[in-house]
Amino acid sequence: MGNVESHGSWRCQFSPDERTILDNVFDAIFAPNTSDFSKWGKAVQKQITLPLLKFTEDLITTVIHLLQSENMLRDWILEKTADALSGTLRLATILISQLKPKDSQDQTTDNVLNAEYGHSELKDWIYRVSHISAFLHIFVVLSLRIINSECNGELFGTKHLLPQCLGIKYSGVFTIFDIPSVLYLNTYLPSERQDQWQMLFSSQFHGESFTRFCSLILHKGPSLLVIKDSDGYVFGGFASHSWDARPQFQGDSKCFLFTLSPQLGIYTCTGYNDHYMYLNNGQQTMPNGLGMGGQFYYFGLWIDSDYGGGHSKAKPRCTTYNSPQLSAQEHFIIDTMELWRVGNPPEDLVSSPKSVLDSEPEAQALLHMIGKMRMSDGLRDPNEEGEK
Instruction: Tell me which of 206 and 156 has the higher pLDDT.
Output: 206
Q: What is the pLDDT of residue 355?
A: 54
Q: Are 175 and 199 in contact (CB under 8 A)?
A: yes
Which range is least confidently modeled, 167-171, 251-255, 356-360?
Answer: 356-360
**Residue type (1 letter), 301:** L
Looking at residues 23-43, what average pLDDT do you find? 52
Burial class (CB in 10 A: 0-12, 13-18, 19+), 167: buried
Instruction: Tell me which of 20 and 174 has the higher pLDDT.
Output: 174
What phi and psi values does residue 41 have, to the nearest 5 degrees?
A: -95, 175
Rounded distance between C-alpha atoms, residue 290 and residue 308, angstroms = 12
Instruction: Tell me which of 366 and 132 has the higher pLDDT.
Output: 132
Highest mean pLDDT of the ranges 36-40, 223-227, 284-288: 223-227
Looking at residues 2-14, what average pLDDT do you find? 53
Q: What is the pLDDT of residue 169?
A: 87
- pLDDT above 80 for 387: no
Instruction: Tell me which of 376 and 57 has the higher pLDDT.
Output: 57
Which range is least confidently modeled, 3-7, 279-283, 315-319?
Answer: 3-7
**SS3 at position 283:** coil
Q: What is the pLDDT of residue 118?
A: 72
Q: What is the pLDDT of residue 30?
A: 59
Q: What is the pLDDT of residue 1?
A: 59
Rounded distance between C-alpha atoms, residue 371 and residue 362, angstroms = 14
Q: What is the pLDDT of residue 49?
A: 58
Instruction: Tell me which of 376 and 241 has the higher pLDDT.
Output: 241
Which range is least confidently modeled, 6-15, 303-312, 335-344?
Answer: 6-15
- Say what percent of the chain tops pLDDT 70: 69
Q: Are 78 and 88 in contact (CB under 8 A)?
A: no
- pLDDT above 70 for 111: no
- pLDDT above 80 for 53: yes
Alpha helices (H) in 16-129, listed in sequence order: 16-30, 42-47, 49-69, 84-96, 119-128
Closest C-alpha among 17, 255, 3 to residue 145: 17
Which range is least confidently modeled, 151-165, 178-192, 289-303?
Answer: 151-165
Q: What is the pLDDT of residue 85?
A: 95
Q: What is the pLDDT of residue 285?
A: 86
10 Å Cβ neighbour count for 342?
Answer: 23
Q: What is the pLDDT of residue 268?
A: 98
Looking at residues 247-251, what average pLDDT do you find? 94
Looking at residues 42-58, what average pLDDT do you find? 67
What phi and psi values does residue 143 have, to the nearest 5 degrees?
A: -75, -40
- pLDDT above 50 for 369: no
State the first-to-last Cα distance of the chain, in angstroms, to the nearest integer.
34
- pLDDT above 70 for 329: yes
Rounded distance between C-alpha atoms, residue 366 and residue 355, angstroms = 16
List the Cα angle 137/141/143 in 5-degree steps.
110
- pLDDT-derived band of residue 101, with 50, 70 and 90 as boundaries? confident
Q: Are 91 and 60 in contact (CB under 8 A)?
A: yes
The mean pLDDT value of the chain amounts to 81
Q: What is the pLDDT of residue 116?
A: 64
Distances in Å between the Cα of 332 and the Cα atoms of 205, 237, 302, 329, 340 are 21, 16, 10, 6, 21
Highest mean pLDDT of the ranges 117-126, 144-153, 267-276: 267-276
Looking at residues 47-59, what average pLDDT do you find? 79
pTM for the complete prediction?
Answer: 0.82
Q: What is the pLDDT of residue 359?
A: 46
- pLDDT-derived band of residue 123, with 50, 70 and 90 as boundaries? confident
- pLDDT-derived band of residue 136, with 50, 70 and 90 as boundaries? confident
Looking at residues 27-47, what average pLDDT do you find? 47
Instruction: Tell me which of 157 and 183 has the higher pLDDT.
Output: 183
Q: What is the pLDDT of residue 126?
A: 85
